[in-house]
Structures are given as C-alpha cells and as structure tokens.
Amino acid sequence: MKQFNVAILGATGAVGREMLKILEEYDFPVGELRPLASARSAGTTVPFKGQEILVREAREDSFEGMDFVLGAVGGGMAKKFAPHIVKAGAVFVDNSSSFRLDPDVPLIVPEVNGADAFKNKGIISNPNCSTIITLMAVAALNKISPIQAMTACTYQAVSGAGQAGLVELEEQMAALAKGEAPARKTFPHQIACNVIPHIGDVLDNGYTAEEMKMQNEGQKILHLPDLRVSCTCVRVPVMRSHSISVTVKTREKITVEQANAAIAAFPGCKLVTDFEGRDYPTPLDTSDQDLVWVGRVREDLTCDTALNLWCCGDQVRKGAAANAVQILQLLAQAK
C-alpha cells in the first residue's frame, strides 16, 4: 500500500492531538509523521502507534517532502505557512477559518461535497464545527428537494473553546460544589449551570460571526448560493459534542417518512427513532465517535414545506479532526 508523509501543524493542541489519534485509529498509511508546533512546544513528544514522536518547531522550510499537512492552528499561523506548504508540493487541509470563503479553496465535508476536494490548488478548508454537523444532518434532504432556508439554534459544548473551555467548566463546577464563587477567564459569563447565547464577534446585522458561518459556508458546500440561514449560537455547560435544532425549508414538501429513510441511508449519519426508549440523541451519546446522530424529525407547523430535526455530533472529531483526516483519505484513495 502506498504511504504518505504527513505533517501536523499544531500537533500539541487539542485538535492536533485528536488528528494524531484518528490517523492511528483509521490506520491511515503514514510513511513519515512530522509533528510541528511553536518554539515553546518544540522538543516535546506526541504518541503515535506506540512511539513517542519528537515535535519540531514549525518553520518555513518544515514542509519539504510532505504529501499532506493537517492544520490545527489559528488563522494567523495558517496564513503564514500556507504559501510555504503549497510551494513544497503538499496539500494543506486547514482547520482555521482563514480560507473557508476563498473561491479558489474547496470547503469540504467529504460525505456532502467530496468531489470538490479534487479542485484544490494546494489548500483545502475544513468547515466550522457546527456547519459540518448541521449539513451532515440535512444533506440527505437536499438530495430530495433543494433547501431554500434554515433556522438553526446551536447548543455548543465548551470544547469548542479549546482546552481552556473544558478546564473552566470543570473548575467552576468544582467551585460551586464547595460553595465558592467560580472564577471566569475563557467565557464572558459563568458557564457552569448557565447558557450564553453569544459566540463570536457581533457584526453589523446583529448576528455574530459564528452565527453567519452556517449560511456563508452552507451556501458554498451545498452549492446553494441563495440559501438563507438564521442562526443563534449558544454556549452550554456540556463538555463535548455540539447539538443543533434546525428547521429546514425545502422547495417541495418532504414527508417525515421520506426524510427518515434518506437520513438513515446517508453516509456518516445515524437516524435515532428508538434509542433506549427515545427518539433523539444527546451530547453524551455522540461524544468520542464520528457519526452525526439525527432524531425528532417532524413536520414544521408554520410552513408546509419545512421539517424540524435535532442532531448531535462530536465537535472535536467530526466537527474538526476526523473531518480533516477523512479529507486525506479521500485524496489518498485517488492516488
């Protein structure tokens, strides 16, 4: 089997470590693995297939000889290193938001628009986590009748804010259990025993940048330039796995029976109609795995051509690291 040299830019962070775990779990044919990080993390090691691999400092010449580079860094570092990755002849699969809306950069959810990945010019973008999970849940409906609009409310786990978000929720819950005042650093308000209906910077239209991603990225991924999405993003005191309630308006009416059959057959989705006596998934059900679980599919009571559904998916895996590795699998299978 052909092997591929893979670098991970940001290998010591939460998403980078998850990428390492998934590469091993999927048995991706890695020849050389090159973990890269900032100078502060260089010299440490990361585990891979029973070995401890030395982490190198990411430099402009770090990508020679690589076939693929997985990006798990912020937008600044992604933009800095992207030209050097492309110059070295590698394909850069970037998890930041830097290139998502660039018309020359494919924005890929493999099960939804995998063919677009082969139009890359050296860079492929991984979509926003909530966008991935939501589009996985609704893509089957779009195959029956084009989606015209969606109204969504996301319930986003603290893992979406990185390791600091997880630590803050844990520390706040421990403080409350002791009767102490919880400290706050990562989130604008206490997140333990609370919800915060605000993620990202507020734009001129009153929506946040996080909320607009579902429309802007959804248009590109689904090839629906006229798609309209009204979204509210809420941070909730859940460790891992995002949940989304979404109303999907299609051009023609889709029955609940048709929707259930299509979702159940869609790759990467699990339809929940009777799981432990319920017809819906929860974040705990969907953590640490790659399927998007979909339930509570029902007719909307305000529009004859709309359906409501509830979906959950692991933000760190399918919403980030696993989707990126699945893009590598797609590209590797064609070589």
Catalytic residue ranges: 129, 242
Q: How far apart are CA 123 and CA 115, in angstroms?
A: 15
Q: How far apart are CA 232 and CA 155, in angstroms?
A: 9
Give which of 72, 41, 63, 65 is closest to 54, Cα–Cα.
41
**Alpha-carbon Rg of the chain, whole angstroms?**
20
Q: Which amino acid is it at 38? A: S
Residues 6+ apart with CB under 8 A from 237: 158, 169, 173, 191, 192, 193, 194, 195
281 and 294 in contact (C-beta within 8 Å)? yes
Residues comprising the chain, all counted: 335
Give which of 135, 114, 136 is closest to 331, Cα–Cα.
114
Burial class from Cβ neighbours inside 10 Å (0-12, 13-18, 19+) for residue 206 reads: exposed
Q: Nearest 5 degrees, angle CA 324-CA 326-CA 331?
A: 100
